[in-house]
């Protein structure tokens, strides 16, 4: 079943010797040696082969790639991220950050291999001037972490039977399941029912985080990620937050109960984008399970605490879903090609979803960006914040929304926005300092921008707006917080 993984072929000889000398090589030496290796196609990659493959992409696409490490595993392996972008290493204003995370459970390996393939594919197609891929790389900063649990992978890869692989290697080297190791922000959520964004962490959160978890949390805090998927195996379904049941458990921890976010419809759509672009996920009948349309709410499948996707939603601006990609957690190499072609379109289409909703700048009176400004959408109790340069991204389904920007020391500004189905709607905010704001007598709640620079189809909210009623009264100045509890 897994012989393709453990029987070495002649052309893998170079890779095998690298594996035995693992501790001796640094990246520079590997970089030299990889020129001697033949291309790796549709085969499993041990740690050194993974590193070689990523370096190979960097070699073939030096101007659009950047390899970096977010930290080390418990056994000292690097958690490498390959970034693909037209200006690698830099955040460009208004260019969204996207991420894929694979192999969080060391024995669930298809995501790891698909992400290596994806990185190679993006590089090759970019070099061939594929217009879709060129556009994607020019407009997006893509971060690919093929393995969040490289230690667990090596344990799983040493197993010789499918039965052993079902659980062996799932956890990290210290025996901890990384998808049960993130701070549980649902506890705070229960206490603060009117808030479900940017929940703060307990002062001692680091003490309970494994090295891999710690590295990922610091990574999430360092980049203003907008959209993400993390990849698992053992089923075929796109799973969206929340993973943790909101209600007290009545009949044990595995009682199924739907636990939805304020962005429920958006998450369902994101999950369907993957399932319907995938070769067979959308059929729903896979691996002996049935998930209508190939999607499921996490908690309605089974509830889990301290998972990564809930953490993304509750602590950061990032919307993450969890992709279960294969019935077999460690599929044989003979299945990798079919899996790649079954997933390729879904991997691309899901990345393109980062370019939906609204984006723009939050600017002060001198047109300087305001970081950490809050962007609120009326009726959806989940805010996002602007990044260091003042740019923000808010995924939304098509429709009309009232969007408010607020920042300490400035008057709030609300704008009525039309969101279409394709490109993101550009909405810039120009905040006026409270101290110098013009008199708001008669119009007490909304500061209008002195100049409208938004290019997209949007209107400033004025007396003629249909939204005047709910927004023009001080009583309803921040109606979202009062009217919408989660
Ligand atoms: Zn998993």
97: β partners:
141, 225
pLDDT in tens, 280-304: 999 999 999 999 999 999 888 888 8
Strand spans (E) along 365-457: 374-377, 380-385, 391-394, 399-406, 413-419, 425-426, 429-430
pLDDT class for 161, splitting at 50, 70, 90?
Answer: confident
Distance 11 CA to ligand 1 centre (A): 31
The string over 116-131, giving b where at least 16 C-beta atoms fall within 10 Å of a residue's C-beta and e elsewhere, is bbbbbbbbebbeeeee
pLDDT class for 22, splitting at 50, 70, 90?
Answer: very low
Residue 374 confidence (pLDDT) above 70: yes
pLDDT class for 190, splitting at 50, 70, 90?
Answer: confident
Strand spans (E) along 166-318: 225-232, 235-240, 285-286, 289-290, 295-297
pLDDT class for 188, splitting at 50, 70, 90?
Answer: confident
Smallest Cα–Cα separation from 311: which of 179, 457, 421? 179
What is the rounded CA–CA span in Å between residue 37 and residue 190? 54
pLDDT class for 41, splitting at 50, 70, 90?
Answer: confident
Catalytic option among 320, 324, 339, 353? 324
pLDDT class for 25, splitting at 50, 70, 90?
Answer: very low
Distance 232 CA to ligand 1 centre (A): 4
The string over 442-454, giving b where at least 16 C-beta atoms fall within 10 Å of a residue's C-beta and e elsewhere, is eeebbbbbeeeeb
What is the rounded CA–CA span in Å between residue 404 and residue 415? 6
Question: 345 with 254: CB under 8 angstroms?
Answer: no
Distance 4 CA to ligand 1 centre (A): 22
pLDDT class for 265, splitting at 50, 70, 90?
Answer: very high
pLDDT class for 472, splitting at 50, 70, 90?
Answer: very low
pLDDT in tens, 297-350: 988 888 888 999 999 999 999 999 999 999 999 999 999 999 999 999 999 999
What is the rounded CA–CA span in Å between residue 25 and residue 300? 46
Distance 201 CA to ligand 1 centre (A): 24
pLDDT in tens, 222-232: 999 999 999 99
Residues 6+ apart with CB under 8 A from 348: 132, 133, 136, 277
141: β partners:
97
Residue 12 confidence (pLDDT) above 50: no
Element (H, E) at 361: strand 358-363
pLDDT in tens, 192-211: 766 667 888 989 999 999 99
What mean pLDDT is reported for the chain?
83
Q: How many other CB atoms are found less than 10 A from the CB of residue 91?
A: 17
Distance 170 CA to ligand 1 centre (A): 7
pLDDT class for 167, splitting at 50, 70, 90?
Answer: confident
Residue 112 confidence (pLDDT) above 60: yes
Q: Determine if the peptide bond prior to 242 is cis (ω within 30°).
A: yes
Whether 324 is a known active-site residue: answer yes
pLDDT in tens, 419-430: 999 889 999 999
Distance 278 CA to ligand 1 centre (A): 19
What is the rounded CA–CA span in Å between residue 458 and residue 465? 12
Distance 325 CA to ligand 1 centre (A): 10
Residue 359 confidence (pLDDT) above 80: yes
78: β partners:
72
- pTM score of the predicted model: 0.82
Question: 31 with 49: CB under 8 angstroms?
Answer: no
Distance 316 CA to ligand 1 centre (A): 22
pLDDT class for 4, splitting at 50, 70, 90?
Answer: very low
Distance 257 CA to ligand 1 centre (A): 20
Compute the average pLDDT of residues 47-61: 98
Distance 212 CA to ligand 1 centre (A): 15
């Amino acid at each position: 079943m897994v012989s393709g993984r453990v029987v070495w072929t002649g052309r893998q000889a170079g890779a095998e010797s690298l594996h035995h000398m693992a501790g001796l090589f640094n990246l520079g030496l590997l970089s030299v040696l990889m020129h001697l290796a033949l291309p790796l196609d549709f085969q499993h990659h041990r740690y050194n082969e993974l590193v070689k493959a990523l370096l190979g992409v960097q070699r073939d696409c030096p101007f659009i790639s950047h390899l970096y490490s977010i930290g080390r595993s418990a056994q000292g392996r690097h958690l490498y991220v390959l970034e693909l972008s037209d200006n690698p290493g830099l955040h460009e204003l208004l260019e969204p950050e996207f991420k894929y995370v694979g192999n969080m459970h060391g024995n669930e390996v298809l995501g790891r291999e698909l992400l290596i393939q994806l990185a190679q594919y993006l590089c090759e197609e970019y070099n061939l001037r594929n217009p879709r891929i060129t556009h994607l790389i020019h407009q997006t900063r893509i971060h690919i972490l093929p393995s969040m649990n490289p230690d667990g992978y090596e344990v799983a890869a040493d197993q010789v039977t499918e039965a052993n692989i079902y659980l062996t290697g799932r956890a990290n080297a210290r025996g901890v399941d990384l998808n049960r190791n993130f701070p549980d922000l649902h506890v705070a959520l229960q206490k603060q029912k009117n808030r479900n964004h940017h929940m703060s962490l307990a002062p001692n959160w680091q003490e309970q985080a494994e090295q891999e978890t710690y590295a990922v949390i610091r990574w999430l805090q360092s980049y203003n990620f907008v959209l993400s998927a993390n990849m698992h195996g053992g089923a075929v379904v796109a799973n969206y937050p929340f993973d943790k049941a909101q209600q007290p458990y009545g009949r044990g921890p595995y009682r199924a109960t739907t636990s939805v976010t304020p962005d429920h419809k958006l998450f369902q759509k994101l999950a369907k984008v993957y399932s319907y672009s995938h070769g067979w996920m959308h059929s729903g009948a896979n691996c002996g399970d049935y998930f209508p349309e190939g999607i499921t709410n996490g908690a309605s499948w089974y509830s889990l605490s301290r998972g990564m996707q809930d953490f993304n939603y509750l602590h950061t601006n990032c919307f993450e879903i969890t992709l279960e990609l294969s019935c077999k957690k460690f599929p044989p190499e003979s299945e990798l090609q079919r899996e790649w072609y079954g997933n390729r379109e879904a991997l691309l289409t899901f990345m393109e979803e980062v370019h939906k909703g609204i984006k723009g700048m939050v600017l002060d009176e001198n047109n300087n960006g305001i970081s950490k400004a809050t962007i609120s959408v009326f009726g959806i109790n989940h805010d996002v914040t602007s990044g260091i340069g003042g740019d923000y991204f808010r995924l939304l389904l098509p429709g009309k929304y009232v969007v408010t920007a607020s920042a300490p020391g400035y008057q709030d500004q609300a704008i009525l926005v039309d969101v279409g189905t394709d490109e993101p709607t550009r909405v810039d905010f120009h905040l006026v300092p409270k101290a110098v704001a013009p008199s708001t007598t008669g119009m007490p709640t909304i500061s209008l921008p002195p100049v409208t620079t938004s290019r997209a189809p949007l209107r400033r909210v004025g007396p003629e707006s249909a939204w005047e009623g709910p927004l023009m009264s001080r009583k309803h100045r921040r109606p979202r917080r009062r009217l919408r509890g989660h």
